[in-house]
Structure 1
């Protein structure tokens, strides 16, 4: 016994940042993200950029296991985006090298999707529809966050690589958000609602 500590002294135990279950979910969803990215199934090649559904695991993680899990999956997705921008560059890859473009919006996906799901579920008490709306909003956050960041930080560079006047950048980006973002959001809504509904049933068992 340490005479300065006394008999009642106990060593404080630090609480782990993530539980074993949360780490398992993070690892699984991050692995799916990487697999989709490496195989190319998570990217849809378009003239100006690679549209992606890689954000869907972030949404699933957030609504299934909470915002902390979703945020971590989003962070890993953002890191993977940087790697992709280096190893497989496209027209807009210069912007994805910036963490404010590649990582921050992916973290916000989790926050937005989770609180959308919780809020809508309380309002309408329809789980499937709440999941679909959360998937749609999460995808929209990804598109608007990335493209909005490009507009705010790289409008001039964007105009140069596209050979357009700077004054037209806003219109082009809005067009990209509409043409790419809407299909991505609809697909995300469908996948999120379908996958999470099944996983919730499995967890309840």
Structure 2
């Protein structure tokens, strides 16, 4: 009995490592392709980099999601130093570039589990997890920029006025479309991957 459990646990660990490797590789490739991983929209970047993080969390759990989120965060940190823009100083701080990206995986997993427990529908649960996971990224990053660099950020982008209102506007105009796209992609992929994992 112990050997059976050990073998099953080993298979789970191998599968999780494989998922982390594949999704991390996708994240790295996306980060290197212009206009795909990071899409420059004025002073901010629209992104789909959080989608592999959410998929990893939904399919294999919060640790896998957090691991892929770490890779996402590290690519953002690396990009800030190697391809600097007027707001890159924010992302040179790992509290902004890395921490929220790790949290994406944790939030997405528990949202998925909660919605699935209520609805028993994989697609709906994946969609909601995708939306809220994406918003975790947007709100986490922009919220930390506001807390740590509000005045400096506004000066860098040449804006005057209330930093909170401006950052809230960015969250709405960029964050909501990103969240809807993430919800659709995560839901579609999650249905396929979860069905396959059950076979």
TM exceeding 0.5: yes
Query: Residue 192 of structure 1 aligns with which residue?
Result: 186
- 1:168 maps to 162
Question: 1:147 maps to which residue?
Answer: 142
Which residue of structure 2 aligns with residue 31 of structure 1? Answer: 25
Q: Does 1:57 align with 2:15?
A: no
1:204 positional shift:
2.2
Give the TM-score normalised by structure 2: 0.91
Residues 97-155 of structure 1, C-alpha deviations (whole Å, 9 max, x = no match): 11110111011101110000000111111111011000000000000000000000001
1:107 to 102, 105, 108: 102
- Which of the pair is proportionally richer in helix? 2
Specify every segment of 5 or more residues in structure 1 that has no aligned partner in the other structure, as ranges: 1-14
Q: Output the aligned Cα RMSD.
A: 1.5
Q: Deviations over 1:32-85 (max 9, x none)?
A: 001111112112220111111101110000010000000011111101100111
TM-score, normalization by structure 1: 0.88
Where 2:159 maps in the other structure, the secondary structure is coil
Distance in 2 (alpha carbons) for counterparts of 1:171 and 1:84: 27
Unaligned runs of 5+ in 2: 1-8
Query: Which deviates further from its counterpart, 43-52 or 105-114?
Result: 43-52
- Name the SS of the counterpart of 1:62 in structure 2: helix
Partner in structure 2 of residue 9 of structure 1: none
2:64 aligned partner: 69
| Number of residues of Structure 1 aligned to a counterpart in Structure 2 | 189
Bigger Cα Rg: 1
Q: Secondary structure at the match of 2:101?
A: helix
Following superposition, which runs of at least 4 residues in structure 1 exceed 6 angstroms of deviation? none
1:200 positional shift? 1.5
